[in-house]
Amino acid sequence: MSISDILLGPILWFIKFLISGKKTPIVLQSPSRILVLDFAYVGDMVMTSPVYRNLKEHFPEASIEALVFPLDAGVMKTNPYVDQVHVHPHGFYRFGLGIIRNLRKRNYDLGIQVNTSLRNNFILWLIHPMFRIGYDFRHRGCFHNVRIPIAARTAHTIYRVDEELVLLEQGLGWTITNRTMVYHVAEEVRVRVGETLRTYGVSATELLVGVHCNSRQTHEFRRWDQMKFAELLDKISESYPAKFIFTGGPSDEEYEQGILGQLRFRDRVIDGPRFSLEELGALFQRLNLFVTINTGPMHIAISQNTPTLAIIGVVPARVIYPSGNPRFQHVMDPALEVWDTTAIHPKYVPRIEEIAVEEVYRKAKYLLDHFAQPAHTEPAHSQHH
């Protein structure tokens, strides 16, 4: 137990004493407004998406609303079960008193917090829905009145999608069978992406492999070596008539160039197109394979059932990656084989550079052989640049 737990524990316990908890599961009849506190990055928000679907399916007349950070609000456009999106100033230590005051006036029947942040717990209490559901780890759910016990912090033990749905199951007494992530791609977006690919010389029948090599945060723990990425793409090029497209944004371009500069099959890379969050969903529907590190687009690809190979750092695969589906393969940083689920911030010294190219290639080959349909199989010819 940390020093903060020792110092905060009695205070948080006293707050729990003052705010009496409800017996679970609660009975909620005909709510008019429900708010989900969804302060997270893109990938976490995609993993939260089934929460909104289940809320709307159980309470079709209710307004299902989300409170999010501004940078990632665009993700909510892909979820048809969200009726309204509210934006809170970005920053995990900020309090947007203006938006909190406005939301309090909406008199929510139910508020849901999907993580164990004490600060987020307090914000939901300030908004003051009639019922406030959340996990209670070391009394950090003290401001809720519907507290679900949990032995470790969220995103530490089981697959995050399941963890969030268990919160609904225990808090509301539901049995949830459809646990797939929601990421709706509009037809006009699909058409637009198809036209973009044709503009860059990619036909509908060509083998297309997506690559995502950088991340917006903690990239020093997530990146795989640029030379190894280049070697992997060259090995794929030697055996398959694939074209490659990098799916990062402008901030990822410098790191991508470090890979491109080492490729022997540089002519196989499609230069130029960049895609919005909505367009990424359409692109992933077209890809025959997606090779990625642990980052937001990985979850979007999984939501589209894209054959995906993830090189995972920072968090164990069991927490962020689905198991049991052969379309989703991964290789994990060996340092994550030992993971202290009881620590709020587990110690992690990355060894992701130890992951061998051959190990990743074997899994890429498996996916290409079993889940992709190449248009032709002529051997590739190397080109140095």
pLDDT digits (tens, 9 = 90+) for 67-80: 999 988 889 999 99
Q: Does 3-172 match 187-371 in CATH topology?
A: yes
Q: Supply the pLDDT for residue 2.
A: 66
Note the CATH number of domain 3-172. Answer: 3.40.50.2000
Residues 178-202: pLDDT tens digits? 999 999 999 999 999 999 999 999 9
CA 213 to chain centre: 16
CA distances from 125 to 9, 113, 120, 178 (A): 19, 10, 9, 30
- Indicate the burial class of 186 (C-beta count within 10 angstroms; 0-12, 13-18, 19 or more): middle
pLDDT value for 309: 98
Question: Using an 8 Å Cβ cutoff, are 278 and 250 in contact?
Answer: no
Give the pTM. Answer: 0.92
**Contact (Cβ atoms closer than 8 angstroms) between residue 277 and residue 283:** no
Burial (CB count within 10 angstroms: exposed 0-12, middle 13-18, buried 19+), residue 77:
middle
Name the band, by pLDDT with cuts 50, 70 and 90, for residue 373: low
Q: Mind listing the pLDDT tens digit for each residue in 263-316?
A: 999 999 998 889 999 999 999 999 999 999 999 999 999 999 999 999 999 999
In this predicted structure, what is the pLDDT of residue 380?
Answer: 37
- According to CATH, what is the number of the domain 187-371? 3.40.50.2000
Give the residue extent of every domain in the chain. Answer: 3-172, 187-371
Euclidean distance between CA atoms 61 and 315, whole angstroms: 38
Could you give the CA distance from residue 135 to residue 158 in angstroms, rounded to a whole number? Answer: 14
Q: Is the peptide bond before 80 cis (omega within 30 degrees of 0)?
A: no
Distances (CA, A) of 315 to 11, 106, 228, 336, 354: 30, 37, 21, 7, 16
Helices then strands, each counted (H, E), the chain: 13, 11
The mean predicted confidence, pLDDT, of the chain is 92
pLDDT of residue 379: 35
Both structure tokens of 52: 């909104």
Reported as a pLDDT band with limits 50, 70 and 90, residue 376 is: very low
Span of 15-24, 34-43, 209-218 with lowest mean pLDDT = 209-218
228 pLDDT more than 60: yes
Q: What percent of the chain has pLDDT over 90?
A: 83
- pLDDT greater at residue 1 or residue 63: 63
Number of alpha carbons in the 13 Å side-chain half-sphere of residue 222: 18
Give the angle subtended at the CA of 88 by the CAs of 87 and 90, to the nearest 5°: 115
Burial of 276 (0-12, 13-18, 19+ CB in 10 A): middle
Question: Among candidates 170, 168, 140, which has minimal Cα distance to 152?
Answer: 140
pLDDT of 377 reads 34
The structure tokens listed for 200 are 């860059």
**How high is the pLDDT of residue 298?**
97
pLDDT for position 375: 36
Angle at 108 between CA 105 and CA 114, to 5 degrees: 120
Going by their DSSP bridges, the two strands 63-68 and 84-87 should be labelled as: parallel
